[in-house]
Amino acid sequence: MTKVLRCFVVTGLPLMLLSGCSTLLGWVGFGPDYADIDTLQVVAMADANQDTAGNPTATQLDIVLALSPLAQQQLPATAPQWFTQKRALLDSLPQDLAVVSLQLPPGTSIKAVALPDNADKALQVVAYSQYFALAGQNRLDLTRVRKAKLVLRSQDLTLINLDD
């Protein structure tokens, strides 16, 4: 083996492999398990988010993308927890969370929600809705759904998987 070739094999090749390590690992299934979300539709029914008097009201909906394992661990279990802790979480994890905030009046639909450019790097995607009814104050995990449709109904938020 010539000196140049030996030098390349000893130093150059390992450096090339290390620099592309995460890409190579991803190709063979050992990289991060990124979220599948590609398309998101949202429909607020005409009777969405009824208040205590039975009147439909606008609904705050946050689509939260966790871009790191730390952010995943910090995501609250319920929508009230998210909306209470939202500012603190965004301040403490500015590079690790991306949020799409929507305010949806009843009878509104969005055919394609604009997801952040880094959505393809999200490890988890969660929807939080701010409802009057307790049943609507849930957390929906969108991570394993490629084409999702969220429907805001009178008392709750539901997920329709359009992959099927």
Same domain, 126 and 66: yes
pTM of the model: 0.81
pLDDT for position 2 = 63
pLDDT for position 25 = 45
pLDDT for position 138 = 85
Q: What are phi and psi of 153, to 5 degrees?
A: -105, -170
Number of domains into which the chain is organized: 2
Same domain, 58 and 124: yes
Q: What CATH number is given to the structural domain containing 129?
A: 2.60.40.4150
Same domain, 83 and 110: yes
pLDDT for position 135 = 87
Q: Is 61 helix (H, G, I), strand (E, B) or coil?
A: strand
Q: What is the DSSP string of 55-113?
A: -B--EEEEEEEE-SHHHHHHS-SSHHHHHHHHHHHHHH-TTTEEEEEEEE-TT-EESS-
Domain of 10 in residue numbering reads as 1-31
Q: What distance in Å separates the CA atoms of residue 141 and residue 68, rounded to the nearest whole number?
A: 16
pLDDT for position 163 = 87
Contact 79, 128 (CB under 8 A): yes
- Consecutive sets of 10 residues in the chain, 164 residues long: mean pLDDT of each? 51 42 47 92 96 93 98 97 98 97 97 96 97 90 97 95 87
For residue 116, the 8-state DSSP code is -
